[in-house]
Structure 1
Amino acid sequence: MKETGSLRDHAYETLKRRIVEVELAPGARLVERDLAAELNVSRIPLREALRMLAAEGLVLIVPGKGALVAPFTPADVRHLFDLREVLESLAARLAATRASEASMAPLAARMAEARSATDAGDAQRIASANAAFHAEIIALADNPLLTGIMGPLAARTEWLFRLTASRDPAEQCAEHEELYNLIAAGNEAAAAACAFAHIAAGRAPSLALAGTWSDAEIDPDEITRTRRRRTPAD
């Protein structure tokens, strides 16, 4: 029999993947009894997993009523960009101060994967590779406080990339190439400016797309009040 912790982690990883890969849409109702049966776990580890996902902004828990996939409204998108513009430009500057042939190897590998995914035209792989590229810059910055702040945003950032997969991948790849080269060259100011411009350029199109996946009138209380089981047709 599996330990409660491993059951919790199984539920957490499975639901996180389904949310980030948009198998479960923003605002979707999460029915505990259905998920517990589907994942073959009891409600205790499932609820622990839901709390972990809520801490990452992927799930919204309505006390006493239930849970749903976080709506990810245009306001949420704006808030995410407000943080990313400032913190990821700082990360790029710090990464540039630490750039060496050895330290750049992981970022070079991420860049190569992003380029390969873009050339293949694989939207899901592109989103994953681009998220990994941005995360690697945070790692290269080597600032524990920054890592601690950005860590909980990583899943939400990848979720955004998948929800906005219709954006021009070639343009994004070219911007990543430019950012990579500036960091590798140790050009701190230019790397920070490039990172800010790259992220800021995605704000308007992401907000426009957010209007297509987010219901401005969504009512979490009303959604969680529905106790109907999900069926394959839902």
Structure 2
Amino acid sequence: MSDGELETYSLVELAVDRLRRDILSGRSDPGERLVEEQLTRRLGISRAPLREAMRLLAQQGLVEHIPRRGARVATLSDADVRELYEVRDVLERHAVASLPERPDLTALRAALAVMRAATEAGDRLELANAHRRFHVEVVRLGGNNQLAGLYESILVRIQLYMAVNMRREAETARAADGVLRHERLFAAVEGGDADAIRTELGAHGARAYLS
């Protein structure tokens, strides 16, 4: 890769990171238009890396390209959200059924530590990301990395939906409650109780997921 290609790739990564943070933090609302001229000025990049970044974000389900209207933050219907949660639940049940007798909990313990730190710092976006990482690590314990990758892509889209309510959730729920829920899930995984794991995962529904 030449220096010019490396620079362009770095600009793409920058744009993906900035736009992804805006979307998943709720700073950019679902359906909001993403105007190239405004974004190139704000990000300080040309149109080529911006368009590649938008293409990558579209692959992640965070951006939609509308014919003759340009790009916008992805939208989800009620049916989309319900179906995403149904897929999430199917993947979780499969992963729980595949858990080894003595799983390595190092990554799961680290994800929980990040969640506690984000809670103390009051960083809602990092907390939401930490919740997602924790759940992905639970599923990854099942030993199927392809399934874990698919599962994470589902959670990213759910996080897009939940980001709309992040500010309100921060006012009506204690961030520490989310840590306590995940501590209970960790204890269930550590204890190897499949029924308890499924029960705790069931408590992380549409209303609870990012609280």
TMscore range, shorter length: 0.7 to 0.9
1:144-202, CA deviations, whole angstroms, 9 ceiling, x for partnerless residues?
3312322422432333454343163444333322211111122234323432x123xx3
Q: Please state whether the residue corresponding to 1:68 is helix, strand or coil.
A: strand
Which residue matches 1:146? 147
The TM-score normalised by the length of structure 2 is 0.79
Q: Please state whether the residue corresponding to 2:109 is helix, strand or coil.
A: helix
1:56-95, CA deviations, whole angstroms, 9 ceiling, x for partnerless residues?
111110123200111233333222211112212333443x
1:198 aligns with 2:203: yes
d(CA) in 2 for partners of 1:190, 1:40: 50
Q: 1:118 to 1:11 in 2, by over 3 A?
A: closer
Which deviates more, 2-11 or 103-112? Answer: 2-11
Q: 1:32 to 1:194 in 2, by over 3 A?
A: same
The gaps in structure 1 that reach 5 residues or longer are 207-234
Residues 89 and 191 in structure 1, CA contact (< 8 A), matched pair in contact too: no
Q: Please state whether the residue corresponding to 1:22 is helix, strand or coil.
A: coil
Which residue matches 2:52? 48
Aligned match of 2:75 in 40, 52, 71? 71
Which residue matches 1:218? none
Which deviates more, 186-195 or 30-39? Answer: 186-195
Q: 1:6 to 1:120 in 2, by over 3 A?
A: closer
Question: 1:46: Cα distance to partner?
Answer: 1.4
Between the aligned residues of both structures, percent identity stands at: 35
d(CA) in 2 for partners of 1:110, 1:93: 22
Question: 1:120: Cα distance to partner?
Answer: 6.0
Which residue matches 1:91? 95
Which residue matches 2:41? 37
Matches within 5 A, 1:54-65: 54-65=58-69
Q: Please state whether the residue corresponding to 2:147 is helix, strand or coil.
A: helix
d(CA) in 1 for partners of 2:79, 2:208: 14
Q: 1:98 to 1:14 in 2, by over 3 A?
A: farther
d(CA) in 1 for partners of 2:159, 2:9: 25
Which has the bigger relative contact order, CA under 8 A and spacing at least 6? Answer: 1
CA root-mean-square deviation:
2.6
d(CA) in 2 for partners of 1:185, 1:43: 52
The TM-score normalised by the length of structure 1 is 0.72
d(CA) in 2 for partners of 1:191, 1:181: 9
d(CA) in 2 for partners of 1:154, 1:205: 13
